Amino acid sequence: MPLDQGQLNSLGLPKAPSDTRVVVAMSGGVDSSVVAAMLAKEGYDVVGVTLQLYDHGAALAKKGACCAGLDIHDARRVAEAMGFPHYVLDYENIFRDAVIDEFADSYLAGATPVPCIRCNERVKFKDLLETARDLDADCMATGHYIQRKPGDAKAELHQAADPARDQSYFLFSTTQDQLDYLRFPLGHLKSKDETRALAARYGLPVADKPDSQDICFVPNGDYASVIEKLRPGAADPGDIVHVDGRVLGTHEGVIHYTIGQRRGLGIGGLSEPLYVVKLDVEGRRVIVGPKEMLATRRVPVREINWLGDAPLTSQDEWHVAVKVRSTRPPRDAIIRPVSATEAEVELVTPEEGVSPGQACVFYDPDGTRIFGGGWIWRGY
C-alpha cells in the first residue's frame, strides 16, 4: 500500500516498507540481529549481509568477536527465524589489506591504532555499502549506537541517546554521502536492556549472547602477539630510558608499550612513578618520565572528515568539544584549520596520554551533533 504524498516511512524514505529494500549489516551479535528483525517485522524488504573478515578456521575457535565463524552461523539463524535472505561475503583479503596490515605497521611505528574505525571506514561503510547499492537497496542499516537526524541543510550525525553505548568515536569518518544512505535504528534507545528486550520479544536465538569485547583479530587483547606473527622480529629488545638519559632497564619490544602506560614497565624501586612518554622505534627505546610530561594542549590532526554545514576552511577557528580517546568525555577545544583535511587542535585543558594513531573526534559543545574528526599524527 503506497504512502500518502509527502509521508515518510520509519526510515525516512517516501515509500511503503514493503517497497523499501534494506540491506542490514549483520555481525551475528544481538544489536544488528535486532535491527534486522525489527525491520522485517515492520514489513521492509530485508536482506542480511555478513562479512567474513578473517581466517575462518581461527574464527570458529574464538567466541565473542564480530564477523567470526560462530557469529556468521548466528546471523544465519536469525535470518532463517525471521524469514529474510542472508548472504556471507568473503572479505578476508580486503580486511587484511585495509585494516590488519596498517594496524601492524602503525604499532611498529610507535602509534596506537584504532582498527575498528578503519574497518568501518574502509570495509563496512565502503565495500559493503557499495554491495548494498548493487543489490538495489534503498538504504543500509546497522546496529551501531549512533543517531542520524535530519538537519536544516542535510542529514546530521548525532551521539546515541545512551551515553554508555555511544559509538560516535568509532564512526567519525562516516562521509556525508555514506550518512545519506545509512540508517541506525538503535541510536535512540536509552539502554542495552531495551535492545535485549526487543531480541526476546522477537524470539531471537542471540537474545542473551554476550557483547564482543576484543578487536576481532586480537584474541584476549594481546596486541603484541598478533603483531609478532604478522611482522616477525618486531619484538626486538631495547632499553627503557628516563627522559634525563638514564638507562633504567630493558624491554622485550617497543610493541609491548603505549604512551601513558605505567604498569608493567619492570623498573620498580624508584622514588617517583614513571610513565611511557615517547616510543623511539628506530632506536628501540621506551622513554619514560613523570606524569606531567604526558600533558599536552596541541594536537595536530590530519585526514579530517568534516561534517559541518560550512566548509572547515571557511573559518579561522572553530570552538568545539573533542575526544582524543574513546573512553574520555568530550573536552572544550579550538580547531584551527590548515587545509580542508588538516588542522591543529588546541585543548582548553591539557590532556594526558594523547597518542599518534588515535582519533580526535569533533562534537558540538552545546548539543549532540558530531562534526567529524581526524587522526592524531604527532602527539608529543
Rounded distance between C-alpha atoms, residue 166 and residue 185, angstroms: 13
Which one of the listed residues 116, 139, 216, 360 is annotated catalytic? 216
360 is catalytic: no
Angle between helices 223-230 and 101-108 (to 10 degrees): 100
**Other beta carbons within 10 Å of 247:** 10
> Residue 176: phi, psi to the nearest 5?
-65, -40
**Measured between alpha carbons, how far is residue 185 from residues 109, 217, 261 in Å?**
38, 27, 37
32 marked ligand binding residue: yes
Rounded distance between C-alpha atoms, residue 56 and residue 14, angstroms: 40
> Residue 351: phi, psi to the nearest 5?
-110, 150
**Other beta carbons within 10 Å of 164:** 9
Which one of the listed residues 67, 119, 139, 360 is annotated catalytic? 119
67 is catalytic: no
29 marked ligand binding residue: yes
30 marked ligand binding residue: yes
Residues with Cβ < 8 Å from 284, sequence gap 6 or more?
236, 237, 238, 239, 254
Least Cα distance to 351 among 325, 318, 377 occurs for 325
372 marked ligand binding residue: no
Query: Which parts are annotated binding residues for ATP?
Result: 25-32, 51, 143
Catalytic residues: 119, 216
Point out the annotated binding site: 25-32, 51, 143
